[in-house]
Structure 1
């Protein structure tokens, strides 16, 4: 199967390379034009679902590029946008003619407005802020218009800088209060002094930010323009400049230093969309998906405000050598602002591997396997991969007497397709697992052809909104076969596409420009064996239970320009016949969840978090600011009781692992932490309840229950 995927990729590459480019396509050797021509050529001929580059496409590129470089609308004026408007319906023609006039005029004007902004913020910060005035700021910049004049723009900067400074002012106020508690004789700083220092702190941050931006080259901004065009095709197709391509290769190998989180650009900062198992953020336990990073500081130094900063530039500030400290000012999912210090480190690959534990309930033993991702060593598949490791854990759990099995795919962002097919084969006799279709071609059906079943007992799969790609394939297959009960969010992430990376140097003959980077291109789409795509809709759980992300926009549907959901013909498969009253088991679980007070509390929290995220009006009056902060803190403290839950289940490491603890106390600490978290997990508790029901309804077929080695 892997060979077929590689062959398909090579055919695509050869087809594109057969019409390879030379620099003589242009009157002059303009690298920007060459890149534009190359990338659009590949997109139109290689993308799974190429878009028409027409007037509608032109309008989207126009609006999105302006939004990318000025998301908070504090640089361009209304007159600039009106001047750019003449290009609104011409960008498609410019792309076809390798004309970059639109980029050139926007870039030149942006550089000018950036210079203007330096004098603007200096003017604003030279005057004190009056925090007694009742005024507010709307931090939802999307629907705001551009400023009509310099005075209007200055007023916009004033509110934004007052908003940026009020938090610093508050921090200084809190520090002084604490000092007074510790020592009543401490000399007090006046409110005027604190306000002045807060403004100076904000000015220093902006000075550093603009110094940082000044170091960027024109080609850095052009890459943003290229990726605005690329992003119109789908959110997973992306152009890597040479330096970015090197970073991508490093990150794919898992050998990189940083904080271990994937970020998404937002107008108010960088949103955490994935936490990498084993990374510093994962170990720190203070950050979570949905938090937004607002400022970045280096080990106690003055933090840099990253609001409005390009994501790549923000990431450069966040990343750094192992052992160094980065201070992140974060707006938590619940709306509170916190400063969290993270020690940068290399991501521990060991924590991204499968691990298991036994679960004891009422003298009955079950097993749980946590799989953070579908990993594989592409250089040596036999060396280590997720399917082989899960098979080992299943065998160990069987030997310890487990009577039911939970596969935990929550937060699993996917990985190797080959491992999914093999893993599914551990739980079914044989048959199709997933269907894959390339653009304009017949579908390919990937099957488990091994008739042996390693685990024929009760099976539950746990998912959430962050279970994506390969996780969705396994959950969908087990659901379609009625082999497992899927418990979790209303739907999974919804990423049902496949990407390949094409180095551009493989396509250009006589290249005098050096490394041109690469393009990650969507070339295929996944389909369930029932014919439905996992794209956009993901997998809908059999038993839907709320979690704190239930009402927050996450997943493929929250991305820009996702591919649509569609359906193809189903594969030929027979549902599992190992359960009696499979539907009744699901119905009973749903009833239990509906009556569970812990679930009710979690849903209440989820609705409150949604309200917090939708609240875009922030008061710039200090008393109101403090009052709202106090209310939010009280509510946040109230919801912290969720973590006090006790399922009264007992979790234990397997015997082979307990033997390792004497030599590796760190491993013991990691497993103890995992077990403690599992014991507070109402979803795991319900998974065990379902296993109990399935156990009563399970038909053991001796002919099928053979060990798959």
Structure 2
């Protein structure tokens, strides 16, 4: 909760900002009110300089960052711009800061107009190059880490960049076709063996088709899409997690955070000029109605009794706008059916669609005569517009209660790949495992930390807890894991350390600062930094596992520490908290697990595999000579044979759904199939297996500080 001082300061800043905009718009209406892009620039600049966690000068260094980020954002693979283009752009290299201060977008306009013309040239480049076979006996290489590649000196060198990239794509397809052909011939000696010439021609045709589809999607993009790239170059200069979200991205963000949307419950995909149904959301309106199927093609969309609109050739985002809609409204889809090609009109009443994979789910397993529960928490979800709607904290509390009724003796909470979400729910979920006390400290720029506490004395779970994490566990996941570690409430197992995102972002709709009829999107801005109750921030360092287990990411370069412009690690004063003293044998259990992992040949193989992946990640140069490429590929295939069974593992444990879920599975075959798949993967998960070993050994203190209320 913000203090009175913080609220007042923020409101004054907002009022000043709004008043400034009103005055400026009045004095120079032609400059701002008629130009949406400039309005957005003006508002973003003021919000960032007044309220971002980092105080940053908009100066020449800032200008250079934006210059490089925008050009690289448009042309990451060096396919469009030449050094001549850069010479033309470079006159703005140290002037963008001045332009931003006066809402001047000359730099953007110059680069974007040049980019548009380059996009138009691209079809002639790749189309011409893919007309004829490549010279595969030529000795040449390609560097695919494009940060190491300079921009082409001129148009001829640019076309040669295209040639090499297309040649590599063709080579990869030839190699893949040859391998499939050999496998097929082993199974059936009568299988026709195509010549290299035939395979090369097929591969070039496939590359051409893929490029055509790519540029069909690129051509659908509009000025707003590319201007968003520029805006993100600007706001990203403050820190990597500050982003501008255009309206369509903001809508997806809200949907992702809440796990719900209003519509028909179908995932759509664009193929060529057609909108295809990729899959139906289990339990959604389309799924219940029963006529729409995966692979159907939607041709027209009508709202109730209105005339239908043809969506063939329409960009996917625009088509989705017509198909989605408010709960209770009717949409009529003219559909070409996948089975017989017939055309059919399907009427669907829209409703709230819950994205089941967003939500908490649990399973039960028996080991050595004891029942244990495993809870998958994919994200810390919440609905910002409906506080009564389900959220991750309410669902966790309910799921734990259900598992208690099943008689489980310990819990594994799976936070692997959980990228975070709501701070509020992270605090509330932490509170389910302790009596009460501080959970996390948050700090605004230039102010003392604020301690966020669990004030509810109720303890939902008093037993043993293991948290499974990996390098993709971030943000709210790290708050929860850090609190459980600092209180000694859980054993943290997984990768060496979590992602290391220790910053808080706030979503600010741009329209709340200006009167403008059109939706201007929002800014997701870093306003706070997280600190553990022990005083250290989770920024950069993340949370180190009590028991580190080798995985495929062990040596890879990613995480907050590898992001340019990431905020630094620091510490604040320790909060006043009392560790829970939950376990009698914590140190022994951790030591036993480490010995098991070190002695386990499967974990040793995984560690070797991780090193091999790192070596391949660092090797970014490929030969474009067919024989050399094939030899390199054969050598790599030979090396990979050693790791063919690296993740083959079976625990012989049986995972089942809790009792409350069984009637749901009988009614919903799609959900049932998903649960079968999940339970199978759990039984084949070596990390879950070792977590169960730890859980089985843990003994709680009868006199610990967790008291049932």
Shorter-chain TM-score range: 0.7 to 0.9
Cα distance in structure 1, aligned partners of 2:405 and 2:122 = 68
Q: Residue 464 of structure 1: CA displacement?
A: 0.7
Aligned residues: 640
Judge conservation of contact 2:259–2:358 (CA < 8 Å) in 1.
Answer: no
Specify the SS of the correspondent of 1:142: helix
Q: Check if 1:425 corresponds to 2:425.
A: no
Cα distance in structure 1, aligned partners of 2:337 and 2:318 = 11
Residue of structure 2 equivalent to 1:352: 358
Q: Check if 1:593 corresponds to 2:589.
A: no
Residue of structure 1 equivalent to 2:612: 608
Q: Larger deviation: 2-11 or 195-204?
A: 2-11
Specify the SS of the correspondent of 1:567: coil
Structure 2 CA distance for partners of 1:126 and 1:514, relative to 1, 3 Å:
same
Deviations along 1:535-582, whole A, 9 cap, x unmatched? 222111111111111122333234342222222212110111232343
Residue of structure 1 equivalent to 2:274: none
Q: Check if 1:221 corresponds to 2:226.
A: yes
TM-score, length of structure 2 as denominator length: 0.80
Matches within 5 A, 1:476-495: 476-495=482-501
Residue of structure 2 equivalent to 1:31: 36
Structure 2 CA distance for partners of 1:377 and 1:79, relative to 1, 3 Å:
closer
Q: Residue 15 of structure 1: CA displacement?
A: 5.9
Residue of structure 2 equivalent to 1:405: 411
Cα distance in structure 1, aligned partners of 2:443 and 2:88 = 44
Q: Residue 660 of structure 1: CA displacement?
A: 4.5
Matches within 5 A, 1:505-544: 505-509=511-515, 511=516, 514-544=518-548
Residue of structure 2 equivalent to 1:235: 240
Matches within 5 A, 1:374-453: 374-453=380-459
Residue of structure 2 equivalent to 1:571: 575
Specify the SS of the correspondent of 1:572: coil
Say which of 160, 163, 173 aligns to 1:155: 160
Q: Over the residues paired in the alignment, what is the CA RMSD in angstroms?
A: 3.8
Q: Residue 484 of structure 1: CA displacement?
A: 1.2
Residue of structure 2 equivalent to 1:166: 171
Cα distance in structure 1, aligned partners of 2:124 and 2:572 = 59
Judge conservation of contact 2:258–2:381 (CA < 8 Å) in 1.
Answer: no
Structure 1: 5+ residue stretches without partners: 262-277, 280-297, 301-312, 327-345
Cα distance in structure 2, aligned partners of 1:178 and 1:689 = 41
Cα distance in structure 2, aligned partners of 1:432 and 1:373 = 22
Cα distance in structure 2, aligned partners of 1:46 and 1:260 = 38
Cα distance in structure 2, aligned partners of 1:317 and 1:597 = 53
Judge conservation of contact 2:580–2:705 (CA < 8 Å) in 1.
Answer: no
Deviations along 1:610-634, whole A, 9 cap, x unmatched? 2222221122233333344444445
Cα distance in structure 2, aligned partners of 1:394 and 1:473 = 20
Deviations along 1:662-709, whole A, 9 cap, x unmatched? 4445444333332222222222222222223321xx2113995426xx
Cα distance in structure 2, aligned partners of 1:347 and 1:159 = 46
Residue of structure 1 equivalent to 2:553: 549
Q: Residue 383 of structure 1: CA displacement?
A: 4.3
Residue of structure 1 equivalent to 2:78: 73
Residue of structure 1 equivalent to 2:18: 17
Q: Residue 463 of structure 1: CA displacement?
A: 0.7
Specify the SS of the correspondent of 1:641: coil
Q: Larger deviation: 471-480 or 564-573?
A: 564-573
Cα distance in structure 2, aligned partners of 1:15 and 1:58 = 25
Q: Check if 1:504 corresponds to 2:510.
A: yes
Deviations along 1:591-626, whole A, 9 cap, x unmatched? 222222121111112112222222211222333333
Cα distance in structure 2, aligned partners of 1:172 and 1:195 = 9
Cα distance in structure 2, aligned partners of 1:663 and 1:654 = 16
Say which of 689, 698, 702 aligns to 1:694: 698
Structure 2 CA distance for partners of 1:461 and 1:214, relative to 1, 3 Å:
closer
Judge conservation of contact 1:461–1:475 (CA < 8 Å) in 2.
Answer: yes
Q: Check if 1:465 corresponds to 2:471.
A: yes
Structure 2 CA distance for partners of 1:205 and 1:393, relative to 1, 3 Å:
closer
Cα distance in structure 2, aligned partners of 1:324 and 1:618 = 44
Q: Residue 325 of structure 1: CA displacement?
A: 13
- The structure, 1 or 2, with the larger RCO (C-alpha pairs under 8 Å, 6+ apart) is 1
Cα distance in structure 2, aligned partners of 1:386 and 1:254 = 10
Matches within 5 A, 1:279-298: none
Say which of 77, 90, 106 aligns to 2:95: 90
Matches within 5 A, 1:363-382: 363-382=369-388
Q: Larger deviation: 353-362 or 66-75?
A: 353-362
Judge conservation of contact 1:589–1:690 (CA < 8 Å) in 2.
Answer: yes
Structure 2 CA distance for partners of 1:646 and 1:193, relative to 1, 3 Å:
closer
Specify the SS of the correspondent of 1:612: helix
Residue of structure 2 equivalent to 1:669: 673
Specify the SS of the correspondent of 1:642: coil
Judge conservation of contact 1:459–1:484 (CA < 8 Å) in 2.
Answer: yes
Specify the SS of the correspondent of 2:643: helix
Residue of structure 2 equivalent to 1:342: none
Structure 2 CA distance for partners of 1:549 and 1:315, relative to 1, 3 Å:
farther
Structure 2 CA distance for partners of 1:690 and 1:155, relative to 1, 3 Å:
same
Deviations along 1:145-188, whole A, 9 cap, x unmatched? 12223332222222112112223444555677688789988887
Specify the SS of the correspondent of 2:357: helix
Cα distance in structure 1, aligned partners of 2:35 and 2:252 = 25
Structure 2 CA distance for partners of 1:619 and 1:315, relative to 1, 3 Å:
farther
Specify the SS of the correspondent of 2:452: strand
Structure 2 CA distance for partners of 1:4 and 1:426, relative to 1, 3 Å:
farther
Judge conservation of contact 1:411–1:466 (CA < 8 Å) in 2.
Answer: yes
Judge conservation of contact 1:485–1:542 (CA < 8 Å) in 2.
Answer: yes
Structure 2 CA distance for partners of 1:315 and 1:51, relative to 1, 3 Å:
farther
Specify the SS of the correspondent of 2:646: helix
Structure 2 CA distance for partners of 1:647 and 1:440, relative to 1, 3 Å:
same
Structure 2 CA distance for partners of 1:152 and 1:704, relative to 1, 3 Å:
closer
Structure 2: 5+ residue stretches without partners: 270-280, 283-294, 298-313, 325-334, 339-351
Residue of structure 2 equivalent to 1:287: none
Structure 2 CA distance for partners of 1:692 and 1:134, relative to 1, 3 Å:
same
Judge conservation of contact 1:58–1:91 (CA < 8 Å) in 2.
Answer: yes
Cα distance in structure 2, aligned partners of 1:703 and 1:496 = 28
Q: Check if 1:58 corresponds to 2:58.
A: no
Residue of structure 2 equivalent to 1:109: 114
Q: Residue 13 of structure 1: CA displacement?
A: 4.6
Judge conservation of contact 2:142–2:623 (CA < 8 Å) in 1.
Answer: yes
Specify the SS of the correspondent of 1:644: coil
Judge conservation of contact 1:231–1:560 (CA < 8 Å) in 2.
Answer: no
Judge conservation of contact 1:13–1:502 (CA < 8 Å) in 2.
Answer: no
Judge conservation of contact 1:490–1:540 (CA < 8 Å) in 2.
Answer: yes
Q: Residue 498 of structure 1: CA displacement?
A: 2.0
